[in-house]
Amino acid sequence: MQDPNEDTEWNDILRKKGILPPKEIPKDDEKEELGLQEHSVVKTYESMTLEELEENEDEFGEDDEAAMEMYRQKRLAEWKATQMKNVFGEMGEISAQDYVKEVNKAGEGIWVVLHLYKQGIPLCSLINQHLSALARKFPQTKFLKSISTTCIPNYPDRNLPTIFVYFEGEMKAQFIGPLVFGGMNLKVEELEWRLSETGAVKTDLEENPKKQIEDKLMSSIRCSLPVRKDSDSEDEDD
């Protein structure tokens, strides 16, 4: 008599027809399969980001909550470690030899603001002061400065100050020459706003501070304009 548990083509046909019962899984195989399933679930947790864990929270049962919380804490710790690793907080100085390492290979998710300057140019000194303040305010962004001709040979002084903005090694914006910055009246808030427009910093300013200054200027001009009196107009008519 043929064994109904044998893996034969005929037995498979009989099982499909319902003549033979489904093949029983040996206990050892059951344990192995359960272990594989559990391993698969664990790998699913491990492969998820914090956002994905939050999004899929409703899809897991009560038994999974402890494991989910464990992996959430693990992901959170990894994220915090990355953030701490990427804290800069001050403006650094680089040479041409440092350019590739510090700018082009700054790392994943890193914004770099590089100021090319020369000593003796007042606007360059002002921008260095502003960028130093912004480096403290936005420690997740890498702020760097470099003497222009040290970093780029024969770089023309007429292009100074120059700011290059990079993200993950790619240039995203550039500000070249004194006219772009508006001269010595440049405020740190205005520079912060300009950098926020490139994505390099996440400002808490609600609008362009330059616009506020322009609005006040236009308002003062309107107020200072002489008002024509009716008597003046009558005299003209005469």
- In this predicted model, what pLDDT tens digit does every residue of 80-121 receive, in sequence order? 666 555 678 899 999 999 999 999 998 888 999 999 999 999
Distance CA 101, CA 165 (A): 15
Structure-model confidence comparison of residues 208 and 171, the more confident one: 171
Q: Determine what percent of the chain falls in helix, strand and coil, rounding each to the nearest 5.
A: 60, 10, 30
Q: Which tokens is 202 given? A: 């996440």
Which tokens go with 123? 């606007």
For residue 9, the tally of other CB atoms under 10 A from its CB is 7
Residue 40: its pLDDT value, please?
A: 47
> Cα(65)–Cα(42) distance, rounded to whole angstroms?
12
Residue 193: which of 169, 173, 218 has the closest Cα?
A: 173
- Residue 216 structure tokens: 């006040």
CA 188 from chain center: how many Å?
A: 21
Q: What is the identity of the amino acid at 215?
A: D
| 25-29, 79-83, 205-209: range with lowest mean pLDDT | 25-29
DSSP character for 112? E
Record the pTM: 0.57
Per-residue tokens: 175: 């500000």
The conformation of residue 102, written as its DSSP 8-state character, comes to I
Q: What is the pLDDT of residue 111?
A: 95
What pairing do the DSSP bridges indicate for beta strands 170-176 and 142-147? unpaired
Higher pLDDT, 1 or 184: 184
Confidence of residue 47 (pLDDT cuts 50, 70, 90): low
User: In angstroms, rounded to a whole number, what is the distance separating the alpha carbons of residues 3 and 24?
Assistant: 13
Domains and CATH numbers, the chain: 92-215 (3.40.30.10)
With a pLDDT cut of 70, the percent of the chain lying above it is 59
In angstroms, rounded to a whole number, what is the distance separating the alpha carbons of residues 187 and 165?
A: 19
Grouping H, G, I as helix, E, B as strand and the rest as coil, residue 116 is strand
pLDDT per position as a tens digit, 180-207: 999 999 999 999 999 999 999 999 888 8
Q: Are 165 and 143 in contact (CB under 8 A)?
A: no
For 118-160, how does the pLDDT look when each residue is reduced to its tens digit (9 = 90+)? 999 999 999 999 999 999 999 999 999 999 999 899 999 999 9
Tell me, what's the pLDDT at 12?
Answer: 73
List, as one string, the DSSP characters of 201-233: S----SS-HHHHHHHHHHHHHHHHSPPPPHHHH
